[in-house]
Structure 1
């Protein structure tokens, strides 16, 4: 049942009390920042679709597109257009997965990855249509059946690589389906997912050598080479080079591994100038621990405290073989970091009040966000949710942070209600507790929710039904 949490004696570091910025000034500043992010997001979306339109427009401007004749010509041209749009979408997917800071600051990395995944099936369907339509079109022109035409195409230089690229992309999309991914070990899925880079590379030669669509000396050829360079260049810079530079510059190592609950440990880190990583409370990093048992597995984990100059901390729950190994890391292990990422921070705020809801290991970004936020007394309300006493990770620290800022901190302990699909306990459901009764100023608040996905979705569903605007609801979904 809901109860007010008692402030703990745990010592915590908090920011200097805020400057006396009037509330209406603060809200106006946040809303202007939100409008700028929205405008930037709209612009990036327009650019993504414009890139596909430009690819088709350049082809339409080429002489070859004006020689359509008969069913074979229509089939061939439809196949070409499908291939151009599909390839453009695949490159957009790569850019979204490149962890570009501009995209992260605009959408949040979780949203970027969600869009990345949503483009997988349309891209695959267009690539399959590209191959099928061209085979039928060439076969109609040569008066051969599809099987014979496929064999003939396969013997064309660079076409075996094109078929290989299509096969790799099929493997990536199929293994990304939720039902399939759940059955695969993370390591196997990750290796298969990396094949998307190989699929893009091996498909490029046939685009440049087969047919006249991207003939040498044409604007189309220049355009596509530029798109490939940009997409793959962003991957190389932000997924590989920048993490190496960050890791070498800050020299992060494990200091201690502290058990805080069954299956949950806090990993204390040290390094150089960690406060210059630019971490905002609520953000996460992708961590790689360079030991014999863990080096091959990257972990998206939130900071559970805002880093200082020489120290940082993450808190990890045992959710599988990979995360379980982190609890056995010995001090001195070298750590590399990608990030920080995420818009689960005060940067996304637009409303005058703050509502924080955390369950289980979802407490980690909420605790760090609360630490990193300058608050007026009564501005924030925190609700901590746990099934039992073993799930009250970092609750004492969070309650102490709330007390130091004059914020309200409540707890809800007990199994989820069995009588209805609810995020609350059975007792709270019977007593008529709602999100609005816990947060009286809910409609005037930014709502931050973090916890198990099914549970968090139920909280968000109730918030939407209560009338909370979409831009005031914030969740973090980690992605690859």
Structure 2
């Protein structure tokens, strides 16, 4: 394996007290984008609520049937805005990807999606009861009449069924029983569900057609959402795959059940940053339609890339059988676990198991000097990239801390070999002045949350804790 060579200091502002400042311009820009996105979403929600109120929403609360109908309209409006928002959150829009990072976008997508789905079910139930004059026994017959007699309703019911399937399979207990490939395929039905809801909203939704401004608002929202998916989920990946022209150049078994795949292509298109990940499709015949996300485990250079994965399923298992020359389609680069998020000179890189892969790339690419960077690796069987980290220690001054063993107890991120000391105190001991560091964390979802909690307790501000977890 190629040894890591030392990088010369990055030219810039002269050191102050021996420590060069870090340019946090991109991090500040991302913070502004996050604020703007939140303001935009709340503005859209308040606007549709205003339209509901201006259309007699409060006056209709006077009697039970009209109150049910009015509340049903409001929940439908809010559910529609959130439905489009959840699609945009996963549309891979570069501005949002840079600002939020994939992990945070995924959490927001789940929160917004479950909220939208709950409000949509409330909308269906309240409208049905309203049309049934509040009589529960008549609601079934009323629902059937609405479905077959009102324009677009049958399509909306079919769309709702698609969304029910997506939501049910997204519940954590259900996801554990599904292969990633099956879950990913089922999740695509969300797009069909959203599309089938459109005719009902535009044909029979009075809040959508009450004025030209409302019609323009909803059509614009739908067109922007559809355009975002087509451009950034379909068009851009195809374009970047063509420009990168990646092919497999080698497969290396790093440890039992852990494999690295080396890729090479043209040095064109956007340059990925160390710490980011791609979604890969290998044109090997069967199964190439299934995309799998893997983090880069070495700093990309000259069109060459390397990612490392743990063999846990059909997709990762197939990596062992890749042959040199296999063509590769990619989506990305994605993720904010990179130098983009950095605002402090001192950095702490903390990873568990194969979660060390993006941190290995960061340790190679970040600009730092002796005593400015520490890497903590918790592992069960054997450490990964041991020789490469030794080289980084010798050439760059990276301090490497290894924590062997299984987690010593539920809720603790430390290994079983650590003495009886609480997690926060251990972090302070392992990373002196940790509150002055940018902390990058990668590993299983629960473990990552435990490390982040210890970092916050140790005084690290939330904006300086950058996480990425392995899960779906």
Cα deviation for residue 398 of structure 1 reads 2.4
Please identify, of 14-23 and 162-171, the stretch whose mean Cα deviation from structure 2 is larger. 14-23
Corresponding position of 1:107: 100
Corresponding position of 2:47: 54
Corresponding position of 1:95: 88
Corresponding position of 2:455: 463
Corresponding position of 1:251: 245
Give the whole-Å Cα distance in 2 for the aligned partners of 1:374 and 1:353: 10
Give the whole-Å Cα distance in 1 for the aligned partners of 2:400 and 2:417: 19
Aligned counterpart in structure 1 of residue 348 of structure 2, from 339, 355, 366: 355
User: Are residues 1:413 and 2:419 paired?
Assistant: no
1:355–1:445 Cα contact (<8 Å) kept: yes
Cα deviation for residue 190 of structure 1 reads 1.4
Give the whole-Å Cα distance in 2 for the aligned partners of 1:210 and 1:22: 65
Corresponding position of 2:139: 146
Q: Please give the residue correspondences for 1:300-339 in structure 2 after superposition, counting only pairs within 5 Å.
A: 300-339=293-332
2:363–2:398 Cα contact (<8 Å) kept: no
Corresponding position of 2:367: 374
Cα deviation for residue 28 of structure 1 reads 6.6
Aligned counterpart in structure 2 of residue 11 of structure 1, from 3, 10, 25: 3
Corresponding position of 1:403: 394
Q: Considering Cα pairs closer than 8 Å and 6+ residues apart, tell me whether 1 or 2 has the greater RCO.
A: 1
1:344–1:474 Cα contact (<8 Å) kept: yes
RMSD: 2.5
Aligned counterpart in structure 2 of residue 435 of structure 1, from 423, 427, 438: 427
Cα deviation for residue 458 of structure 1 reads 2.6
Corresponding position of 1:21: 13
Please identify, of 430-439 and 463-472, the stretch whose mean Cα deviation from structure 2 is larger. 430-439
Return closer, same or farther for 1:27/1:473 CA change in 2, 3 Å cut-off: same
Which ranges of structure 2 fall in alignment gaps of 5 or more residues? none
Corresponding position of 2:196: 202
Aligned counterpart in structure 1 of residue 280 of structure 2, from 281, 287, 311: 287
How many residues were matched structurally? Answer: 467
Return closer, same or farther for 1:426/1:260 CA change in 2, 3 Å cut-off: closer
Aligned counterpart in structure 2 of residue 445 of structure 1, from 407, 416, 437: 437
2:443–2:468 Cα contact (<8 Å) kept: no
Give the whole-Å Cα distance in 2 for the aligned partners of 1:241 and 1:406: 43
Cα deviation for residue 60 of structure 1 reads 4.0
Give the whole-Å Cα distance in 2 for the aligned partners of 1:166 and 1:410: 51
Corresponding position of 1:82: 75
Return closer, same or farther for 1:28/1:313 CA change in 2, 3 Å cut-off: closer
Q: Please give the residue correspondences for 1:216-255 in structure 2 after superposition, counting only pairs within 5 Å.
A: 218-255=212-249
TM-score by length of 2: 0.92
Give the whole-Å Cα distance in 2 for the aligned partners of 1:468 and 1:384: 19
The 3-state SS of whatever aligns with 1:147 is helix
User: Are residues 1:168 and 2:162 paired?
Assistant: yes
Give the whole-Å Cα distance in 1 for the aligned partners of 2:393 and 2:272: 20
2:273–2:300 Cα contact (<8 Å) kept: no
Return closer, same or farther for 1:310/1:463 CA change in 2, 3 Å cut-off: closer
Cα deviation for residue 142 of structure 1 reads 11
1:353–1:441 Cα contact (<8 Å) kept: no
Deviations 1:6-33 (A, max 9, x none): xxx9522453322253455954732x54
Return closer, same or farther for 1:211/1:351 CA change in 2, 3 Å cut-off: closer
Give the whole-Å Cα distance in 2 for the aligned partners of 1:352 and 1:64: 54
Corresponding position of 1:425: 415
Aligned counterpart in structure 1 of residue 125 of structure 2, from 125, 132, 136: 132
Which ranges of structure 1 fall in alignment gaps of 5 or more residues? 1-8
TM-score by length of 1: 0.90
Give the whole-Å Cα distance in 2 for the aligned partners of 1:342 and 1:29: 19
1:161–1:206 Cα contact (<8 Å) kept: yes
Cα deviation for residue 387 of structure 1 reads 1.7
